[in-house]
Every structure is written in structure tokens, then in C-alpha cells.
Amino acid sequence: MADGLSPAACAWVECRDGRIARTGAGDPPRRPDLDLGDMLLLPGLINAHCHLEYTHLRGMLSGRRGFADWIGQINALKRHSSLDDFRGAIRDGFAEAVAHGTTSLVNIEAYPEIVAGIAAPIRTWWAIEGIDIRAPFAFPPLPELPAVSPHAPYTASAALYRRATRIAEATGALFTTHVGESGEEHEMFARASGPLYDLLGRLGRDMSDCGHGGSLGLLLDEGLLPRGSLLVHMNYFCEGEPARCARDGHTVVHCPRSHAFFGHRAFAFDDIRAAGLPVLLATDSLASCRTLSLFDEMREFASRHPHIPADEILGMVTRAPAAALRMTGQIGAITVGARADLIAIPDDGDADPAATALRHRGEVPFVMAAERVIVSRRHKLQA
Ligand SMILES: [Zn+2]
């Protein structure tokens, strides 16, 4: 059992010191400490892109009037939020993510000063976000599981990208950035026009990098992405760029419900996959989707790409992000030696456990991570 997804093959799991020590089919070798009954055991899910600090903005923004308008909306709402609001939002976001079966997470963090005061309940990469349109930006000392995130080519300068690249290459920090998210971003860089071009010009951004090609091409041409970057969105790109990204070992992070919220052009999954570029699924923030559930993201993706097998889609929130986070064999799989990050969902009897996972709605009854049971409902604890 390579990925641990078959309930027939994986009837029991023995955990020791936070890791999976043994797995097996049939009857367990001894009386279990925990009997989950007729539930389907899955590896904990991995959300490779979210902004938990916007959890309190759920349902407050509209994507209908375009991307530049949405930026205006979120900036106005952020101005009315205190650091305590963001702290509370992060805590609420963690609770919601865990309740929906997420056990590892990359959180983009625009307010690094609040990270130290928050005890993350699950494995978390705090990706420090850099923006330098109006003022210089310097990365602070990075937390454990270091990550850097120049926000996007329209808000972070080439110099900021270079500094982040140097940090990633020197320390092994994860590097992630938004790129090619909206048609407005593409229009700004390719044609030096459009609402985003106008907005950022008014804010005083140096627009001399516009009018020469798309934003992803700019990052690639200028050498602003270290090998193995997580490229978030990539809804808009130019011909040949997915293959270039694949050669550089990058990974695309697709956020299906945020994509639908803005009404972007169809996500070119087949072209990206054909170029050999891995794709992950993530939630992005509640400023552009309604829940922090990766099950909801998988279902949205499946509805738009019905020809993709369920197991491949489940892999986009388990095996593929584990590889992108350089943790293959440690997370995203139920294998001996892996971290004991386990979740369970009701088993509807489908022979394909991934199909069962794609149908799951709402919270999950069982979550184990960070060497403890975090969520436990509807199971029998043995005396
Ligand atoms: Zn984002």
C-alpha cells in the first residue's frame, strides 16, 4: 500500500512517538487504543496557500467588479482591523482548517510581529509576505519552518524578489509568490494598461517594467525565482512558460473557489500538467472563498475537470504538496516512518476511497496531528 488510501489494505495503524510505526490489513495485532469503527482513514490534508489573518473577512468582499476593485475593498477592510483582529482571525482560521482535516499549512503572513504570540496547532510554514510599493521592506528573522513570500510582481520590486531568493537559497526557506492571478495583472504587464496598471501607477509604483510581456515571464527572465518555488494561481501565462517552470522545479498552487469567485479565464490545468508542472490545490483566504475546507476545493476542482481521476485530485492535497514542501514520505501519506498526521471520514462503501473523499462535506470526525488527537467525534475510546 503505497499511499495508504485503501481501507481494505489499511485496517489499522500503530503510532509511536508521533510517527507511523506499523500499518496492516485484517485484525490488529493487539486491542486498539482507539477504534474508529467504519471510517475511512486518510493522511492529514496539506493546504499550501492560505491567509488565515483574513478569516474574519468571510463573505464581506465581491469579486464581480474586478481584481483592482477587490484590492481596494480588502485594503479598506484591513485599515479597520487591529492586530488583535488579525490574531483572532488566525486562531479562528486554524480551528476551521483543522476541523476540516488540514494538518499542515502554508500561511502567508503580512504581520510577522504577531507570529510569536500564536501557538499553531498544526505544522505551519509562516511565509513572511513582502510588499515594497510605498516603503522599503526587510524580511525579519524567520520563524521555525521558514518561508518567504514576495507578494506579487505588481507589489514587490525585483530587488525584493532577489533578496527573498537569496534567503531561500542560503537557508532552504520555502519560497512562494502570487503570480498571473488576474487578467488585470496580465494586462498591466503585457500592455501597460488596465485598472490595475492605473491603480498602482497612482500609488507611485515604478511602472517601467510594464509593456514587455506577462508577469510570470518577467520573473523567469530576470531570474527572480529560486528553484522549487510555489507559484500561486498562474491563471494567466504565456506560451512555453509552464515548461520553463517545470524545468526549474516549480509547483503551481491552484485555488479553485477563489478562481471561481473572480471569474478568471478557465484554469489551464491540462496544459500545465502536460508540461510536467505539478499542481496543488489550496484555499487562499476567506476574502475570496467561503470555507477553509480542502474537501470543498477538491469538489470544485472535480466539477471543472471531470476527466481527472479522484485519486489524482486527492493527491493534490496530500502527496503533491508533501513533495513541494520537501516532505515526501513524512506527510501526505500513511506509510511507515511518516508523521502520524491522520484524519478519518465516514466510509460510504465506495471501492475507491478517493471518490469517497471527494464526496465528503463539512467537518471531519477525527484529526490526529502534532502527536495528539485534536478532533475526536463518533469513535469509541477503549478503556
Ligand atoms: Zn493568496
Structural contact between residues 151 and 202, judged by C-beta atoms closer than 8 angstroms: no
Distance CA 10, CA 368 (A): 16
CA 37 – ligand 1 centroid, Å: 38
CA 233 – ligand 1 centroid, Å: 8
CA 57 – ligand 1 centroid, Å: 14
Examine residue 262 and state whether it is found in any structural domain, yes or no.
yes
> Residue 304 pLDDT > 60, yes or no?
yes
CA 49 – ligand 1 centroid, Å: 6
> Residue 7 pLDDT > 50, yes or no?
no
Examine residue 382 and state whether it is found in any structural domain, yes or no.
no
pLDDT tens-digit readout, 135-189: 999 999 888 889 999 999 999 999 999 999 999 999 999 999 999 999 999 999 9
Domains in the chain: how many in total?
1
Examine residue 355 and state whether it is found in any structural domain, yes or no.
no
CA 125 – ligand 1 centroid, Å: 14
Distance of CA 273 to the CA centre of its chain: 18
CA 178 – ligand 1 centroid, Å: 6
> Residue 319 pLDDT > 70, yes or no?
yes
Q: For residue 194, what is the domain's CATH number?
A: 3.20.20.140
Structural contact between residues 292 and 106, judged by C-beta atoms closer than 8 angstroms: no
For the chain, the three-class secondary structure string (H helix, E strand, C coil) is CCCCCCCCCCCEEEEECCEEEEEECCCCCCCCCEECCCEEEEECEEEEEECHHHHHHCCCCCCCCCHHHHHHHHHHHHHCCCHHHHHHHHHHHHHHHHHCCEEEEEEEECCHHHHHHCCCCCEEEEEEEECCCCCCCCCCCCCCCEEEEECCCCCCCHHHHHHHHHHHHHHCCEEEEEECCCHHHHHHHHHCCCHHHHHHHHCCCCCCCCCCCCHHHHHHHCCCCCCCCEEEECCCCCCCHHHHHHHCCCEEEECHHHHHHHCCCCCCHHHHHHCCCCEEECCCCCCCCCCCCHHHHHHHHHHHCCCCCHHHHHHCCCHHHHHHCCCECCECCCCCCCECCEEEEECCCCCCHHHHHHHCCCCCCEEEECCEEEEECCCEECC
Mean pLDDT of 111-134: 94
CA 152 – ligand 1 centroid, Å: 9
Task: Specify the pLDDT at position 103.
Answer: 98
CA 16 – ligand 1 centroid, Å: 36
CA 184 – ligand 1 centroid, Å: 16
CA 108 – ligand 1 centroid, Å: 7
CA 374 – ligand 1 centroid, Å: 27
Structural contact between residues 232 and 215, judged by C-beta atoms closer than 8 angstroms: no
CA 278 – ligand 1 centroid, Å: 18
pLDDT tens-digit readout, 263-303: 999 999 999 999 999 999 999 999 889 999 999 999 999 99
**Structural domain containing residue 199:** 43-339
Distance spanning both ends of the chain, measured CA to CA: 30
CA 378 – ligand 1 centroid, Å: 35
Examine residue 227 and state whether it is found in any structural domain, yes or no.
yes
Query: 12 has which bridge partners?
Result: 24
Cβ count near 121 (within 10 Å) = 18
* 9: confidence class by pLDDT, cuts 50, 70, 90: low
Distance of CA 230 to the CA centre of its chain: 9
* 381: confidence class by pLDDT, cuts 50, 70, 90: very low
Q: Which three cell numbers stand for residue 190?
A: 503585457
Cβ count near 325 (within 10 Å) = 24
CA 286 – ligand 1 centroid, Å: 10
CA 287 – ligand 1 centroid, Å: 9
CA 181 – ligand 1 centroid, Å: 9
* 198: confidence class by pLDDT, cuts 50, 70, 90: very high
Closest to 46 (Cα-Cα) out of 352, 369, 378, 289: 369
Distance CA 368, CA 379 (A): 13
CA 253 – ligand 1 centroid, Å: 10
Examine residue 361 and state whether it is found in any structural domain, yes or no.
no
* Rounded (5°) CA angle 211-214-218: 90
CA 176 – ligand 1 centroid, Å: 10
pLDDT tens-digit readout, 240-253: 999 999 999 999 99
Examine residue 58 and state whether it is found in any structural domain, yes or no.
yes
**For residue 148, which amino acid is it?**
V
CA 313 – ligand 1 centroid, Å: 20
CA 376 – ligand 1 centroid, Å: 30
Task: Specify the pLDDT at position 48.
Answer: 98
pLDDT tens-digit readout, 22-31: 999 888 888 8
> Residue 1 pLDDT > 60, yes or no?
no
Examine residue 119 and state whether it is found in any structural domain, yes or no.
yes
pLDDT tens-digit readout, 293-302: 999 999 999 9
Examine residue 23 and state whether it is found in any structural domain, yes or no.
no
CA 104 – ligand 1 centroid, Å: 17
Distance CA 223, CA 209 (A): 14
CA 281 – ligand 1 centroid, Å: 12
Structural contact between residues 337 and 13, judged by C-beta atoms closer than 8 angstroms: no
